[in-house]
Structure 1
Amino acid sequence: MSDQREEVERYLRSGNYESYFHAWPGDTLVAQERNGSDALKRALIDAVEKRAADLPVPAPVPRLDMVAFTRSKVEPMVRGLFPGIEQEQVLGVLERSVVYLTPETIHPVLEGMAWPHTAWALANLYLGSLGAELLSDEAPRIVGMSVETSCYVSMEYFRDTFRFADYIIHETAHIFHNCKRRTVGLRETRYREWLLELEFRKRETFAYCCEAYSRILALSARASERAGLVEELAEEAMPDDDRIDAAEYVDILREAAAVRNGWKRILARCAPDRARRRPDVTHGLQERAPDSAPGSRSAN
């Protein structure tokens, strides 16, 4: 039992755990893994409930049709990135992809999460939205995270007044490199396996550019206004995230703001070199790197 307690404490402190769950009983490795994973989840849920107890919800999720709300957010991006024949199938996935982490949803989300470390990160995302003590000083300070075809978004979304921010766009943009075409009913080929082909190191750049560009479009009526908003962002509102190259980020947005369909320009700038040489670059796809991590948006 002492080994189990040590494993639970290590997990809560860092999100790390012994992947074979040797400290737990079981007639098979599968049984050990199930028993150990269940124990970690129970401990995580208990720790979250303890830290969140009696804290007020700072910004409750409004009573909206969330499917329609999400669709209204992501539709311009999908219309700009995909050919007309594919748009409705992609929208059908994205409009149901967003999960807001609230007092009502956090328990089932953590309980149903397959990967303990991802559950730990989501627990900290939720605690951060409440202003509660995080599980560790090393915990990621994020406001959104994408896992396969689901996007988990902080309640901070409904109280953030920063006009260039939209966590929903940022997180759904990550779905494009996490989701296979066949998942949404689209034809898949050897070179078109994933929804969009992105260079691995530019996945965060792509998500941040999509986020900013969506807000620039919403705040402007003409190209000259878009250009001015890019310069305002460059001077006053740059993302605080060392995963992106700031100069490249601004340059991509300047290019996007100057053309009719800036979404395609963003995609072209974030595509792998081999895709840029192909004529169908704007709708190319890339095999996902096996060590890729879930996308996440940092809290600025």
Structure 2
Amino acid sequence: MTATSNAAEQNLPQIGTPQWLEAEIRQYLCSGSYDSSFAGWPGMNFVDVAQKARQRLLTALAEETLGRANGFGYQVTLPSDLHAWTRNKLAPMVHGLFGADECPAILGMLARNVVFLTGQNIVAVLMEQRWLSTAWNLANLYLYSVGAPALSQQACHIEGLSQETTCYVSMSYFDETDPFADFVVHEAAHVFHNCKRTTIGLGESRRQEYLLSIDYFRRETFAYACEAYSRISSMAASTRLRQQLLERHGEALPPPDDRVDHGEYLDILAEAVRARNGWQRILKRCAPIQRRQPHVTNTP
């Protein structure tokens, strides 16, 4: 018995029918999941099928997002010069992690690629996404920011998301009350291990292909540590005051991420607030562990 006849007997939409396609679209909207092979979608060949399916799913996602956000909004406005604001926000971290000759290129790249999701740009942002899963997460990020119902109760409640060199940030950033939180710094820190040096015109070597080498299992620790250290160092100039702020931070809730060892995270920050360049201490603690190759002795 064929899959088509099985579907017919169970009163299910048959593959390739308009009803089946609508069911596939609804599945994507409700869960973010989809068949990456796009089997059953119309088209002349695999590339044509994939392009048309992706376009249809993203269009449906944009329409659903706008529909859910209708009637919701926020009162916060963006800085009048977002590029200048972003450069000023990220300059301490960039100057602390990179040499003076590389800072202009890195700051320029970041200033162009921090995107706050608004009602004016959300459709364009969703439609330009390469990955359908990223688009679905961004739609939920935007819906959460305006107080609208998310696409799924299982959707992650996030305030920011990095994709390659772009940092997408919720407008709720400007309503944040946690003195140690900074989603912009957090997402920008992730760009450093996602962006290859040649992407922004910097030289690379065999051992330095990306802007920074961060241990895979400490990437979130690195981003959270940069986020907190950015806030601490901006609020206190002396070591004593930075240590006091760190103690206050340690008494609050830890980063809500099970990928972060909270003890290690606080230990990294403790080392950073005592150092002359805390950024470099964070980088050193989160760098890949260099394992020595076993020595092999040639015997005759």
TM-score, length of structure 1 as denominator length: 0.89
**1:84-233 map, 5 Å:** 84-233=100-249
Whether contact under 8 Å (1:164, 1:237) holds in the other structure is no
Mark the runs of 5 or more structure 1 residues left unpaired by the alignment: 278-300
Aligned-partner SS, 2:76: coil
CA distance in 1, matches of 2:139, 2:38: 21
Letter in 1 for 2:195: C
CA distance in 2, matches of 1:175, 1:61: 25
Letter in 2 for 1:140: C
Letter in 2 for 1:270: C
Whether contact under 8 Å (1:59, 1:155) holds in the other structure is no
**What residue number does 2:14 align with?**
none
Letter in 1 for 2:31: S
Q: Give the superposition deviation at 1:274.
A: 1.6
1:73 aligned to 2:89? yes
CA distance in 2, matches of 1:59, 1:166: 20
Q: Give the superposition deviation at 1:61.
A: 2.6
Whether contact under 8 Å (2:79, 2:85) holds in the other structure is no
CA distance in 2, matches of 1:47, 1:243: 32
Letter in 2 for 1:143: E
Whether contact under 8 Å (2:185, 2:230) holds in the other structure is yes
**1:215-294 map, 5 Å:** 215-274=231-290
Aligned-partner SS, 1:84: coil
1:23 aligned to 2:34? no
Q: Give the superposition deviation at 1:276.
A: 11
Aligned-partner SS, 1:85: coil
Q: For the structure 1 residues 270 and 64, does the alpha-carbon distance in structure 2 shift closer, same or farther, using more than 3 Å as the test?
A: same
Q: Give the superposition deviation at 1:109.
A: 0.2
CA distance in 2, matches of 1:275, 1:207: 24
Whether contact under 8 Å (2:272, 2:281) holds in the other structure is yes
Letter in 2 for 1:69: W
Structure scoring higher RCO (CA < 8 A, sep ≥ 6) equals: 1
Whether contact under 8 Å (1:20, 1:32) holds in the other structure is no
Letter in 1 for 2:207: Y
Q: Give the % identical residues.
A: 48
Structure (1 or 2) with the larger CA radius of gyration: 2
Q: Deviations over 1:118-153 (max 9, x none)?
A: 000000000000111100011111000000000000
CA distance in 2, matches of 1:63, 1:219: 21
Q: Give the superposition deviation at 1:2.
A: 2.3
Aligned-partner SS, 1:186: coil
**What residue number does 1:50 align with?**
67
Aligned-partner SS, 1:95: helix
Aligned-partner SS, 2:159: strand
Q: For the structure 1 residues 9 and 124, does the alpha-carbon distance in structure 2 shift closer, same or farther, using more than 3 Å as the test?
A: same
Q: Give the superposition deviation at 1:88.
A: 1.1
Q: Deviations over 1:69-104 (max 9, x none)?
A: 000010000000011121111111111110000000
Q: Give the superposition deviation at 1:58.
A: 2.1
Q: CA RMSD for the aligned pairs? A: 1.4
Letter in 1 for 2:212: L
Size of the aligned set, in residue pairs, is 276
| Structure 1 ranges of 4+ moved more than 6 A | none
CA distance in 2, matches of 1:126, 1:168: 15
Q: For the structure 1 residues 275 and 159, does the alpha-carbon distance in structure 2 shift closer, same or farther, using more than 3 Å as the test?
A: farther
Q: Give the superposition deviation at 1:237.
A: 4.0
Q: For the structure 1 residues 147 and 243, does the alpha-carbon distance in structure 2 shift closer, same or farther, using more than 3 Å as the test?
A: same
